[in-house]
Amino acid sequence: MNRKLLLISNSTNKGEDYLAWCKYLIEEFLTKNKIKEVLFIPYAGVSMGYDNYEKKVKDVFSTMGVRLYSIHKENDAKKAVNEAKCIAVGGGNTFHLVYELYKNGIMNLISQRCNQGLPYMGWSAGSNVAGLSLKTTNDMPIIEPESFDTMGLVPFQINPHYTDFFDPKHGGETRDDRLNEFIIVNPSIYVAAIREATALKLEDGNLSLVGRDNKMKVFHANMETKEYGLTDDINFLMK
């Protein structure tokens, strides 16, 4: 297996343009893999409509000289996946994304193709579904998908938009509380909690944290929660 993955925590930093912080990572990924066209999956988008979502992303990719086209305008979603040169899955609501991926019959197909080397990039919900399941999403379950299982392009869970922050006046769970509950119920599985302005990159068989210097946190039932930075070896997650 020679998987090529770029799994971005968040599209947009507060106060910055859409996909601005990670544009250099996307450009590097496309250049290294000689990608000139990208099949876009807008299914996580709920409120803006797929046409608007496609335009928003297409505008960014066109500045890199890459043609991006959305699966919602293709007659045959499976054929589109089979013929794609690269897949990009946008953020939004993870449950809606997973629901539509199953409904359109392409969850397992994308998984198969990308496990065989088709370049895959995603941000937020699009990174989430590259993991084993949606069980560490932060999103509201507004629609019931066929299954919680996702693509398994990496053998662990991703928690995008990871944050330590919590409203000091509010009584609910912190993000760490929630992820600690996940590992109690799923004790054999690692969770990679990636902060904003970071991404996970898998290329040439090497997994690394890239982006700004915001450490990721790894949760597992049998170890102390630990942070890893840009230069740390995190390939134990791939085993």
When the beta carbons of 140 and 223 are compared against a copy of itself, the nearer one is 140
Which is catalytic among the residues 9, 124, 127, 133?
124
Residue 187 burial (C-beta neighbours within 10 Å; 0-12, 13-18, 19+): exposed
Minimum distance from residue 38 beta carbon to a copy of itself (Å): 23
Which is catalytic among the residues 72, 96, 161, 220?
161
CA 40-238-6 angle, to 5 degrees, is: 25
Question: CB count, 10 Å around CB of 224?
Answer: 7
Q: Which amino acid is present at 83?
A: E
Q: At 87, give phi and psi (nearest 5°).
A: -120, 135
Task: Identify the CA nearest to 121 among candidates 44, 38, 53.
Answer: 38
Minimum distance from residue 2 beta carbon to a copy of itself (Å): 31
Residues binding a copy of itself (CB under 8 A): 10-14, 46-47, 93, 96, 133-144, 147-148, 161, 163, 165, 167-173, 177-182, 184-186, 196
- Is residue 84 within 8 Å of 113, Cβ to Cβ? yes
Minimum distance from residue 165 beta carbon to a copy of itself (Å): 5
Is 188 noted as a catalytic residue in this protein?
no
**What distance separates the 2 farthest-apart alpha carbons in the chain?**
51
Helices marked H in 142-238: 175-185
Is 177 noted as a catalytic residue in this protein?
no
Minimum distance from residue 144 beta carbon to a copy of itself (Å): 4
Minimum distance from residue 32 beta carbon to a copy of itself (Å): 27
Is 161 noted as a catalytic residue in this protein?
yes
Q: Which residues contact 134 (CB under 8 A, 6 or more apart)?
A: 94, 95, 98, 128, 145, 148, 150
Q: How far apart are CA 114 and CA 158, in angstroms?
A: 17
- Is residue 62 within 8 Å of 6, Cβ to Cβ? no
Question: Which residues are identified as catalytic?
Answer: 124, 139, 161
